[in-house]
Amino acid sequence: MIDIKFLRENPDVVKENIKKKFQDHKLPLVDEVILLDAEARKTQQEADNLRAERNKISKQIGALMAQGKKEEAEEVKKQVAAQASKLEDLAEKEKELNEKVTKIMMTIPNIIDPSVPIGKSDEENVEVQKYGDPVVPEFEIPYHTDIMEKLKGIDLDSARKVAGNGFYYLMGDIARLHSAVISYARDFMIERGFTYCIPPFMIRSNVVTGVMSFDEMEAMMYKIEGEDLYLIGTSEHSMIGKFIDTIIPEQELPHTLTSYSPCFRKEKGAHGLEERGVYRIHQFEKQEMVVVCKPEESMEWFDKLWQNTVDLFRSLDIPVRTLECCSGDLADLKVKSIDVEAWSPRQKKYFEVGSCSNLGDAQARRLKIRVNGENGKYFAHTLNNTVVAPPRMLIAFLENNLQEDGSVRIPKALQPYMGGKTEIR
């Protein structure tokens, strides 16, 4: 959510930003919110004037009573009572207007960074750099679930009976590989100075609306029936929520955290849930990284975060590339985003395995995450990035480490987490 003062003073900049995100249907909202904001401030001023006048009159009551002018004092009391009723009406009107302003402001997209390429959809995202040489072996790479099934590592049919499409049972060495990757990612981030955290896996609605847009919330979140709780779609949600309504001493920044959690997603409107695969599913596990920092440091941290993911995948001999997300592919709260994509030898193309985002002060403004600095209080900047998210990462791992005889090589970095195994057969 952008600053209402910024919108008030720069409506043309906000409208141009909306156009860059190809959301022209939101252009009228800028003028609408300016009018509502002006009316809200006018109502507030009227209420403040009335309070001042009421306080002035109230003082007269004591003076009149002291002079024995009881009847005059009673008349003044009637004036105060009448003003109290009017003040209550003004307060209610101001509240309604501010709620309307906030609701609209939460749908107006954040101002994107000038470096973001302009484009309508993910088809116009821009490749930044490749890391490692993509290899297509001479033997055929089977579909990832076929690899897993041959190694007795997955049971989709039983999961479908138990929970429906979009779920799975991981078994044996594949399940162990899944846990090994998560543990390796945890230690990888701890060695880079991040504090390990296991957060709540459910959050309240005020946190949900603080960390994501309404469209994302509707498409992703599972609601707990009868309670003000949602299952998290990523640990970023509860990790940023950890700082809700806090004032952080500037000297404590940055907060650098790496968190583990299961993730639950509706995947509303997504295609592919009917396939025999684990690329897009309702439940998975993830290691995340989150940073809360000073505004002037957020772009520096942005580059560090996506580089961490690149380095982790390269340490496991998986070729990757980075992709700059264009304006139309950015969620409304994001200032800038880079996807990390892993090489698929089977498909002979890259596919997304992680996403790094700088959200500026949008989440901090919604959740009231402030910093107490030398020159006063200001909103922090928040960033997040995927360290690793099995089982999608397992697809890249299995395809890039599959050997011709059907066994899977275990890279040296991961062998300690697999009990010393050098391959899975």
- Over pLDDT 70: what percentage of the chain? 92
Residues 95 and 160 in one domain: no
Asked whether residue 251 is domain-assigned, the answer is yes
Q: What confidence tier does 213 reach under pLDDT thresholds 50, 70, 90?
A: confident
Same domain, 162 and 258: yes
Going by pLDDT thresholds of 50, 70 and 90, the confidence category of residue 228 is very high
What is the pLDDT at residue 70? 67
Q: How many domains does the chain have?
A: 2
57 and 129 together in one domain: no
Residues 86 and 206 reside in one and the same domain: no
Model confidence pLDDT, tens digit, residues 18-76? 999 999 999 999 999 999 999 999 999 988 888 777 777 666 666 666 666 666 766 66
Residues of the domain holding 88: 4-105
pLDDT tens, position by position, 180-200 = 999 999 999 999 999 999 999
- Statement to judge: residues 78 and 129 lie in one domain: no
Classify residue 112: in a domain, yes or no. Answer: no
CA 177/CA 173 separation, integer angstroms: 6
Q: Determine if the pTM surpasses 0.85.
A: yes
Residues 74 and 169 in one domain: no
* pLDDT higher than threshold 90 for residue 307: yes
Note whether 84 and 162 are same-domain residues: no
Per-residue pLDDT, 196? 98
* Average pLDDT of span 222-230: 94
186, 233, 409 from 417: Cα distances, Å: 12, 27, 14
Residue 357 shares a structural domain with residue 406: yes
Amino acid at 75: E
CATH of the domain at 245: 3.30.930.10
> How sure is the predictor about 272, in pLDDT bands with cuts at 50, 70 and 90?
low
CB under 8 Å to 204, separation ≥6 — which residues? 228, 229, 230
pLDDT tens by residue, 102-131 = 999 999 999 999 999 999 999 999 999 999
- Determine the pLDDT at residue 96: 93
* pLDDT for the residue 97: 93
293: in domain = yes
